[in-house]
Structure 1
Amino acid sequence: MFAVPHAGRDYSPALLARARVSQKALQGLEDRYADLLVERLIEQAHHVLIARQPRALIDLNRDEREVDLRGIQGAPWSFRGQSSAKLRGGLGLIPERLATTGGLWRDPLPYAALCQHIEQVHRPYHAALAAALDVTRRRYGIALLLDIHSMPPLKATTADTPTPRVVIGDRFGRSATDRLTDLCADVIRRHRLPVAINAPYAGNHILERHGRPERDVHAIQIEFDRSLYLNATMAEPGPGLADVQALLVTLAEHLSRELIDFARPLAAE
């Protein structure tokens, strides 16, 4: 199955009223139009889960406890947050700041609102992911989640090494078997796109939570360079969108065949 957690664009009036920055600034948190990348997969009846709520409201790729309490009003003393590098950089469960704008919000978020966002958005999304993966594993003996993201163009590191246009993450082998990760990389390279694995993006909470290779549930994150499918301003879909859509269709075909081969020995046991 495929999932797109960071492309939501449904900005409510309440969210915009709380922001001290413009909606355009909040859109900087999005994986801009990454949901369009999976349109052909939906047409082909693949299982696809797309989050419609914006990342500015709540980040589905963070743990529920990954909260900066300085941005929360009225949290009980018993609440114990979970620190992380992303949180310290301002990008926790509730994003607090961007390097380009500074702080995002006029006032701290009431603790009751935090609980509401978790109950109404975060938990249902992860419950839907878990249920779909469980059904798939029970039916076929194995399940694979491809978590689709986008990234700003990476900077070149050396003159003789191509800059990655796609980054695959599997938590350094903890969320998926190397066999599936390597197949993803091979298919993408055949489309003449430089690929990196786990650098600089190895995946985060979604892979950590749902990837269980020892239980035959695998999870892989794929980050696409936004310049591959957006226009020159990185604001709207561009001429490369159809190519990335076609790449994902090809990738799904190869992975499906590989998973069938995986499932055969499992079914025979």
Structure 2
Amino acid sequence: MDERLGRYPADASLHLVDDFTEENCLEIHQPTRQRMPFVFNSPHSGRTYPRGFLESSRLDTLQIRRSEDAFVDELFASVVAQGMPLIRALFPRAYLDVNREPYELDPKMFRGRLPPFANIRSVRVAGGLGTIARVVGERQDIYSGPLDVSEGLSRIETLYKPYHRALRRVLAETHVAFGHAVLIDCHSMPSSVRGHDAQSRPDFILGDRYGTSCSADISEAATAILKGMGYRVAHNRPYAGGFITEHYGRPAKGLHALQLEINRALYMDEHRHCPHGGFERVAADMATFAHHLTAIPDHDLPAQPIAAE
């Protein structure tokens, strides 16, 4: 085994696989009976790494894991017992990012020609954070050399497309059952992130694409609940929501999407990449948050039929 895999002693939470298949790339935790029209999603908390990916990276495991929304899936695990599905990626964001367009790719990263429909000029690609990221953390390059185009396209087929098929299916089933569906897209952010001004460091940032991805009742209720718990909450800055929030949020059709970012310092040691003593409190608060948020009256969430495809 490459020495980089053993360089980080507190790596019990990291799992290794030889490769991914559609069967081992995600998990859908379903309640015995779904009681509310809410779906929770954790697309960036994956910590199962292909051995070859780690061995070929120029970074050690601690460095490469800085892009994880670490343990966010565990913070929201209680929603399943409350009667709501929880979807989580098992693959890491550094390997493939489902919160991007499917082909948001940097041609400089690859040997060979990308398909003509690839989006090679987005702001996220320019920053090294496309569907297949070039960097993690403080602009640290992941790869020591270019990837074959076939490798990048294979990750999209094996991981990206199955993940979004699963997410669409769960949202559609929820919409059919309740007449509307609310997606809570769960993320974490470095403690260094600032909110509306240079001095404030929020505990949570809620993103609704500036009011376009979900009902104002949901955003306002989420803000009020978190502030009522004593947390500092920012809205849309600097995170207004990524591809998932923008793509699935269609309030006029009864499909709502809200992105939630948690300050990692609240629940984990960012340097050692492990939970600290605040983890249990935050997990309990997220259970309370979900309980109160899902109590929004149905009449505040307009129901619309899903058009036949």
Q: Deviations over 1:201-260 (max 9, x none)?
A: 001101111111111000000000001111374511112212222222222222222153
Q: State yes or no: 1:108 paired with 2:146.
A: yes
Does the aligned pair in 1 maintain the 2:264–2:270 contact within 8 Å?
no
Q: Secondary structure in 2 aligned to 1:128?
A: helix
Say if 1:133 and 1:143, in contact at 8 Å, map to a contact too. Answer: yes
Once the two structures are superposed, what CA deviation does each residue of 1:60-115 show, in whole Å capped at 9, x if it has no partner? Answer: 11111210011012125635324222221111111102463632102212111111
Between 1:219-228 and 1:248-257, the stretch displaced more is 248-257
C-alpha distance in 2 between matches for 1:88 and 1:134: 34
Q: Does structure 2 retain, via aligned residues, the 8 Å contact 1:25–1:101?
A: no
Question: Equivalent residue of 1:257, what SS?
Answer: coil
Q: Which residue of 2 aligns with 1:228?
A: 266
2-structure distance, mates of 1:250, 1:83? 41
Change in Cα spacing, 1:208 to 1:144, as seen in structure 2 (3 Å) is: same
Pick the aligned partner of 2:59 from 21, 32, 55: 21
Aligned residues: 264
Q: Which residue of 2 aligns with 1:262?
A: 300
Q: Which residue pairs with 2:247 in the alignment? A: 209
Q: Alignment partner of 2:218: what SS?
A: helix
- For residues 106 and 281 of structure 2, what CA distance do their matches in structure 1 show? 39
Cross-structure match for 1:67? 105
Other-structure match for 2:190 = 152
Report whether the alignment pairs 1:178 with 2:216.
Answer: yes
Structure 2 SS opposite 1:202: coil
Q: Shift of residue 127 of structure 1? A: 1.1
Q: Which residue is 1:6 aligned to?
A: 44
1:146-178, Cα deviation, whole Å (9 max, x unpaired): 00100011348466xx53110000111111111
Letter in 2 for 1:212: R
The structure 1 segments of at least 4 consecutive aligned residues displaced by more than 4 Å after TM superposition are: none
User: After superposition, where does 1:59-98 map in structure 2 within 5 Å?
Assistant: 59-76=97-114, 78-98=116-136
CA–CA distance in structure 2, aligned partners of residues 77 and 217 of structure 1: 31
Structure 2: gaps of 5 or more residues: 1-38, 305-309
119-128 or 105-114: bigger deviation: 105-114
Q: Residues 232 and 173 of structure 1: is their aligned pair in 2 closer, same or farther, counting only changes over 3 Å?
A: closer
Q: Which residue identity lines up with residue 248 of structure 2 in the other structure?
A: H
2:157 paired residue among 119, 131, 148:
119
Q: 1:241 to 1:247 in 2, by over 3 A?
A: same
Pick closer, same or farther for the CA change 1:231–1:171 going to 2, 3 Å.
Answer: same
Identity of aligned residues (%): 31
225, 235, 241: which one pairs with 1:187? 225
Stretch moving more, 125-134 or 247-256: 247-256
SS in 2 for 1:250: helix
Structure 1 residues 69 and 192, CA gap change in structure 2 (3 angstroms) = same
Judge which range, 212-221 or 44-53, deviates more. Answer: 44-53
Question: Where does residue 219 of structure 1 map in the other structure?
Answer: 257
> Matched residues in 1 for 2:49 and 2:126: separation?
25
Quick one: which amino acid aligns to residue 169 of structure 1? G
